[in-house]
Amino acid sequence: MEFVERGAFPHMSLPLEGLAAVVTGAGRGLGRAEALELARLGASVVVNDFGQPGRDGSGAASAAPAEEVAAEIREAGGKAVAHTGDVADHQQARELVELAIDTYGKLDILVNNAGILRDRMIFSMSEDEWDSVIRVHLKGHFNTIRFASAHWRERSKEAGGPVYGRIVNTSSEAFLAGSAGQPNYAAAKGGVVGLTTSTALALRKYGVTANAICPRARTRMTSDVFAGFAEPGAGEVDPLAPEHVAPLVGYLASPAARRVNGQVLVVHGGMVAVVERPRVAAQFDAAGGVFGFAELDEALSPYFASRPEGETFGAAEVLGLRRG
């Protein structure tokens, strides 16, 4: 891990210098890359990871993943502490935010990344498979935002004006494109977008921004998603490396992104796409002010008949990837 040289640009400070960050799910994969990037840019970091080995949330919790990343940051000259709690637990999420405040005097940046997968077709999914994924992804995002936002609101009251706050949430293109075997995950990630836009509106008067990213990366969570897709050759850049997602998180966490709020951005490799909010594709007005069945049939059936049968966006098309 290489930090930006503090003396390299005498007229500039590091973009996140003096700021304190929490990154959840930061023991591996994307979260680890994001925690390292924030530290590289000058932030003091609380590295959170519950440490279960299974991507489905199975196995005994372990402090090792979070502790190892925190140690890596400190060894490189940064500031970091580990937190090994479960962000889907309301009290443990509170303790995570409090740890940042107690350690660094405040919290400025919250990056929500923790998640699990329990894939199943909708007709086979169990209640527990549904609940567990919604709990970790969606409730986990809510829990940390709940306590971080209360901290920023209180600071704003004390300051008599806006304070510094950045939230970066993790959604997925599974919510945009659908994912046949992931109804729980797609629903949770769609919920994250709704939570993000609501939070962005609620907190903007306090100086806080909230944005969501839809990252594409080879991680433990996506090992089967990208299985069979073209691997980089010797000396070539892997566009799906988690390290290519982290710079966008660093940017969104920085003062430079003060005008970016309530946005959803797809990111991988050398590409960032700003997702436009849903637009009306067609509108039909009832002749008499209200619709009946026959008039709806006359208006809507020809419209949908003119579109390709079963028109949907498949994962490969949305991801813009090709199998090797």
CATH number of the domain residue 198 falls in: 3.40.50.720
Residue 4 placed within a domain: no
Report the alpha-carbon distance of residue 246 to residue 225 in Å, rounded.
Answer: 20
The pLDDT of residue 322: 36
Pick from 53-62, 174-183, 210-219, 290-299 the range whose average pLDDT is largest: 290-299
Question: Mean pLDDT lowest for which of 9-23, 24-38, 113-127?
Answer: 9-23
Question: Mean pLDDT lowest for which of 46-60, 77-91, 94-108?
Answer: 46-60
Burial of 155 (0-12, 13-18, 19+ CB in 10 A): buried
Burial of 76 (0-12, 13-18, 19+ CB in 10 A): middle
Residue 101 placed within a domain: yes
Residue 206 is classified by DSSP as: G
Q: Read off the amino acid at residue 322.
A: R
Q: How far is CA 283 from the centre of its chain?
A: 33
Residue 13 placed within a domain: no
Pick from 190-199, 208-217, 313-322 the range whose average pLDDT is largest: 190-199
Angle between helices 140-159 and 90-104 (to 10 degrees): 40
How many domains are there within the chain? 1
Instruction: For 13-33, write each residue's pLDDT tens digit.
Output: 899 999 999 999 999 889 999
Q: Read off the amino acid at residue 91.
A: Q
Residue 162 is classified by DSSP as: -
Angle between helices 140-159 and 183-203 (to 10 degrees): 10
Residue 220 placed within a domain: yes
Nearest CA to 179 out of 132, 141, 214 is that of 214
| 319 contacts 216 by C-beta, under 8 angstroms | yes
Angle between helices 29-40 and 64-75 (to 10 degrees): 20
Domain hosting 128: range is 20-275
Quick check: 209 pLDDT over 50? yes
Residue 49 placed within a domain: yes
| 313 contacts 319 by C-beta, under 8 angstroms | no
Residue 292 placed within a domain: no
The pLDDT of residue 313: 44
| Positions marked catalytic | 172, 185, 189
Residue 27 placed within a domain: yes
Instruction: State whether the Cα torsion 318-319-323-324 is positive or negative.
Output: positive
Residue 87 placed within a domain: yes
